[in-house]
């Protein structure tokens, strides 16, 4: 690669790092919707094989989300915005965080190497689009139920959110923030708790992608399984400093304004994913 091309590539990754870190703190998302397309472009530009490029982008995004989510959940917890009864209650089988982690690991280690992401991307985009419409135009007080469901819901819903998020290389906030809000969780608390979900998704997903990509040919240089260590170092090292700014901005905005901003961002993510899956 020519030095000038490499220079602009590094600049692009630095910009992605700043935006993804800020988004992680602001919306409780890991920033994967920003990182995956950027990493895909970067890996294609340096000649990574087509059969490995998307998996490498998703896996590297998951690794960065570990850092973003850890920083984000700590900052939100310091403001009392993380619901530990949802994330990690004393009865572990009731923990959404636990089952999200299980679904994430299974998807990254077993499902991802077998399936194309196009159908899942289109499905996610369609769901996210309609959820975004509710956030932007729906009644502010609209809820499906008064509390987050227990019983069979944590293993079923948690595993589904974790699995789909791992396959897409996202932190899960795009799914879990709307779900929590529809269960009468205040938006700031939903965002803070979703940051914890992001950590529960990213750690097992990263381990799974390292495992499933261990002997795959055509990966980028300096990779551990599907996780590219160079991309991880650049993005994680910079985004870490922008998470607190996102958290501070989230708590400075009123809840209805924050819902609308989140809805607009989610709609843009959905449209971009739909474009990628169709074209």
HSE-up (13 A, CA, CB side) for residue 271:
8
The distance of Cα 201 from the centroid of its chain, to the nearest Å, equals 8
Task: Please check the confidence at residue 1 and state whether its pLDDT lies above 60.
Answer: no
Q: What does the pLDDT look like over 180-198, one tens digit per residue?
A: 988 999 888 998 999 899 9
Task: Please check the confidence at residue 263 and state whether its pLDDT lies above 90.
Answer: no
Task: Please check the confidence at residue 30 and state whether its pLDDT lies above 80.
Answer: no
HSE-up (13 A, CA, CB side) for residue 174:
30
Q: What does the pLDDT look like over 47-76, one tens digit per residue?
A: 888 788 888 989 999 999 998 889 888 888
Tell me how far apart the alpha carbons of residues 129 and 109 are, in angstroms, rounded to a whole number: 28
Task: Please check the confidence at residue 94 and state whether its pLDDT lies above 60.
Answer: yes
Q: What does the pLDDT look like over 125-184, one tens digit per residue?
A: 777 787 788 778 866 567 888 899 998 999 999 999 999 888 877 777 778 888 898 899
As a whole number, mean pLDDT of residues 190-218 equals 92
* pLDDT at residue 177, rounded to an integer: 85
Total domains in the chain come to 1
Q: Which helix (H) or strand (E) covers residue 223, if one does?
A: strand 223-224
* Contact between residue 163 and residue 109 where contact means Cβ atoms under 8 Å apart: no
- Domain encompassing residue 32: 3-278
As a whole number, mean pLDDT of residues 92-108 equals 94
Task: Please check the confidence at residue 200 and state whether its pLDDT lies above 80.
Answer: yes
* pLDDT at residue 117, rounded to an integer: 55
Cα–Cα nearest to 246, from 198, 183, 206: 198
Q: How confident is the model at residue 43 (pLDDT cuts 50, 70, 90)?
A: confident
* pLDDT at residue 279, rounded to an integer: 65
> How crowded is residue 248: how many other Cβ atoms within 10 Å of its Cβ?
13
Q: Tell the residue number behind the tokens 């220079």, with chain if given.
A: 7
The distance of Cα 186 from the centroid of its chain, to the nearest Å, equals 20
* pLDDT at residue 62, rounded to an integer: 93
Task: Please check the confidence at residue 26 and state whether its pLDDT lies above 90.
Answer: no
Quote the mean pLDDT of the chain.
84
Tell me how far apart the alpha carbons of residues 112 and 168 are, in angstroms, rounded to a whole number: 9
Q: Tell the residue number behind the tokens 């795959």, with chain if given.
A: 216
Task: Please check the confidence at residue 248 and state whether its pLDDT lies above 90.
Answer: no
Task: Please check the confidence at residue 250 and state whether its pLDDT lies above 80.
Answer: no
């Amino acid at each position: 690669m020519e030095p000038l091309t490499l220079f602009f590539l590094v600049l692009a990754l630095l910009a992605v790092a700043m935006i993804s870190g800020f988004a992680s703190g602001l919306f409780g998302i890991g920033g994967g919707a920003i990182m995956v397309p950027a990493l895909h472009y970067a890996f294609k530009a340096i000649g990574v094989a087509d059969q490995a490029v998307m998996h490498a982008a998703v896996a590297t995004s998951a690794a960065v989300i570990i850092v973003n989510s850890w920083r984000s959940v700590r900052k939100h917890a310091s403001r009392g915005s993380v619901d530990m009864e949802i994330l990690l209650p004393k009865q572990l089988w009731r923990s959404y965080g636990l089952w999200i982690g299980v679904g994430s690991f299974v998807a990254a280690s077993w499902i991802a190497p077998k399936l194309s992401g196009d159908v899942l991307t289109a499905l996610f985009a369609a769901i996210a689009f309609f959820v975004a419409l509710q956030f932007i135009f729906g009644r502010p007080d609209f809820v499906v139920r008064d509390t987050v469901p227990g019983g069979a819901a944590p293993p079923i819903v948690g595993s589904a959110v974790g699995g789909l998020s791992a396959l897409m290389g996202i932190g899960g906030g795009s799914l879990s923030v709307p779900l929590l809000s529809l269960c009468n969780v205040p938006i700031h608390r939903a965002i803070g708790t979703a940051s914890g979900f992001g950590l529960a998704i990213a750690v097992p997903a990263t381990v799974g992608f390292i495992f499933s990509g261990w002997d795959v040919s055509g990966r980028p240089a300096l990779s551990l399984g599907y996780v590219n260590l160079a991309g991880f170092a650049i993005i994680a090292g910079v985004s870490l400093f922008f998470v607190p700014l996102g958290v501070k901005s989230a708590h400075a905005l009123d809840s209805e304004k924050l819902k609308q901003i989140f809805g607009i961002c989610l709609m843009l993510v959905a449209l971009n994913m739909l474009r990628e899956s169709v074209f």
